[in-house]
Amino acid sequence: MTNGLLFYWFAWILWIITTFFMKKIRKRTVLACWILSVLMCSNLYASFENIQLSIAFIILWLGALLFHAKLPHLVYHVFSSFTISIGYIAILLWEQHTPVWMFLPRIILIPVISTMLIVILVKGFHNRIVVGILGISSGETIYSLLLSSYAIQETIGEMAFFDMTIITLLIIVSLEIIKITKQKLLLFSKQLLRWQNE
């Protein structure tokens, strides 16, 4: 599959949902502008010495950092982001050195493992989204800088990274939808039992 196709597809869907279906509050405007800025700059790159960096990646990372600063229990969430970034780096290094052991395609394996770490470490839907994005993007930065220290050039924030990030977000959103649906079904079944008893 072409790198970036999943990102463009689902990022536009996310922008449409944010713009047209969220309540008209300041947070909605900020989120819509953030998503649109990442989409607009997805093909722009900057170079610093021997490191090539995606402008969309910088916008994504800075936005996640600003949202992260507003989270409660900041120290714990910083620790969680660091743990997620270490896990992300470990998977990429594992893939680099022993690709034979990758039993699933990286587009599936990395988001699934990242989501498991996020769900285990962080509670709350918005917290998971912010900590997940910050952890994964920090991991991507550290991994690329680590490779560049060995004279292996890799672009920080390639389209494959955005694909994996959007899949991770989709899994988190899907888990939240399942959780809400389960709660509504339980509530409905309790009301049904109450009506039957009356």
Residue range 58-110, pLDDT digits in tens: 999 999 999 888 888 889 999 999 999 999 999 888 887 776 666 778 888 88
- Contacts for 135 with CB less than 8 Å, ≥ 6 apart: 80, 81, 82, 83, 84, 85, 87, 88, 114, 117, 118
pTM score, two decimals?
0.87
Using the predicted structure, report yes or no on whether residue 26 has a pLDDT greater than 90: no
